[in-house]
Amino acid sequence: MPVLRAADVGKVLLKGGRARVDEPVPPRFKAGDRVTTRNVNPLGHTRLPRYARGRQGVIDRDHGVFIFPDTHAMGQGPKPQHCYAVRFAARELWGPEASPRDWIYIDLWDDHLDPA
């Protein structure tokens, strides 16, 4: 893997890249499915927020197949998989003091989720 020099960071960020991929990966979930986030504590990068680990939510929508940022950021390859908008009740994440009318949506990948 090539080394990214500090002087080149701006150029790389401006160039960007596609995160959506055209891979025939079957979805594990569909809108309306209840899921539980995995309670993982990896040594490296994860897009699964600590406050959402081990919590229950509902799949709101499937965004399609994307590069899995957790492996990609660690140089372990793209590992394409579905990314879902998962809806959590505010009380599920923040406790009984949170508003019963509020919801939080977090985009999460197949590897972050298990069926509830």
pTM: 0.84
* Mean per-residue pLDDT, 80-109: 98
Strand bridging mode 34-37 / 103-109: unpaired
Right CATH for 34-115 from 1.10.1740.10, 3.40.50.150, 3.40.50.11540, 2.30.30.50: 2.30.30.50
pLDDT by residue (tens digit) across 13-25?
Answer: 677 667 889 999 9
Each domain of the chain, given as residue ranges in start order, spans 34-115
* Pairwise pLDDT comparison (75 vs 66), residue with the higher score: 66
Instruction: Provide the pLDDT for residue 17.
Output: 67
Instruction: Provide the pLDDT for residue 6.
Output: 83
Instruction: Provide the pLDDT for residue 45.
Output: 81
Percent of the chain topping pLDDT 70: 94
Burial class (CB in 10 A: 0-12, 13-18, 19+), 19: middle
Residue 1: pLDDT over 80: no
Nearest CA among 63, 66, 65, 84 for reference residue 17: 66
